[in-house]
Amino acid sequence: MECPKCKKTVGEHDLVCKNCGIALKEKPKKAKGFKELFTKKKSGSKDSFGRKTSSAGKVIGGIVSGKNEKKIRIALLAALAVLLVVLIWVLAVRLSADEGEKRALEAAEFVGQPITAAEEDMEIHFKDNSDFSILNNAAVFDYIYESEDNLEIDDIVYPEWTVTVLKDSSDNIETVTYTNYKQLESDSRGEKLDSRINLDSFNRGARYSSVSDAVGLDPYKIVYGEDSISYIYKYYYTAADGNAQSVVLTVVFDSDSEYLYYTSVNVYPQNI
């Protein structure tokens, strides 16, 4: 074999040229032994997933150790338990708040039938008079089912909601009305709006969802008849003369939730 530098003959297994001293071959690397391949990783090494680990094999900056993982699992379970309690409470409040409307819907199934049929199926009793004097003096109904909880509106005590029934000439149910007095608790005039609601752009047959979106309010009263459903709203706005104008808006749909018509009536203070 010839030296690449001095061109003199050298041995086949020589690592260095004896004549000029140039390295002829790289020094072979020492292979890792069986013991080195299976020794524990030192601090700052990486595991098989390329994650940095400590001398005890715990992942640094990645998945935590078993002890910390257990703590996190317990914390997550505690958080889920709290969330579940909150959800149950919200659901209970929601169900309670909608009881009157649900009862009204159930009673509406018996329009055209005797009140006794509704009572038997619903397992409740409709009374001839309210427990609240204001309703006996001011409201018009033949039978009433009402909330046991009450509230004050303009210093007068009302039930939170009522389901009232008017009967026809045959003593059968003619209409069922759900009234949610909680809608008027903060202000008996209803919600304050910037201007008067106008539904003239809607044609007969428009869908309930479209008309309801245009109104943008929750009804304080719903009247279920044999062939129609009326949604009644209360609100007020500042008129052109600068005075607050209260309005009762009634929007009527047929039994298929198709729009029929609306009425908008001004409400003025009485006994001034």
pLDDT at position 145: 98
Q: What are phi and psi of 233, to 5 degrees?
A: -120, 150
**Any domain includes 64:** no
**Residue 179 maps to a domain:** no
Q: Is residue 210 part of a domain?
A: yes
Specify which of 52-66, 92-106, 224-238 reaches the highest per-range mean pLDDT: 224-238
- The CA distance from 224 to 111, in Å, is 8
What is the domain count for the chain? 1
> Model confidence over 71-92: pLDDT tens digits?
888 888 888 888 887 677 555 5
Residue 7: inside a domain: no
1-10, 112-121, 223-232: the lowest-pLDDT one: 1-10
Q: Which domain holds residue 209?
A: 186-272
C-alpha 143/C-alpha 173 separation (Å) is 10
Phi and psi at residue 121, to the nearest 5°: -75, -40
The answer as to whether 259 is a domain residue is yes
Task: Specify the range with the lowest mean pLDDT, choosing from 16-20, 39-43, 185-189.
Answer: 39-43
How far apart are alpha carbons 94 and 99 in whole angstroms? 9
pLDDT digits (tens, 9 = 90+) for 198-209: 999 999 999 999
Domain-located, residue 104: no
Question: What average pLDDT does the segment 171-199 reach?
Answer: 96
Evaluate whether 147 touches 161 at the Cβ level (below 8 Å): yes
Q: Are strands 191-192 and 150-153 parallel, antiparallel or unpaired?
A: unpaired
Average pLDDT estimate for 62-69:
64
Is 261 inside any structural domain?
yes
pLDDT at 141: 98
Is the overall model pTM greater than 0.75, yes or no? no
The proportion of the chain whose per-residue pLDDT surpasses 70, expressed as a percent, equals: 78
Residue 161 lies in a domain: no
Question: What is the predicted pLDDT for the residue at 53?
Answer: 54
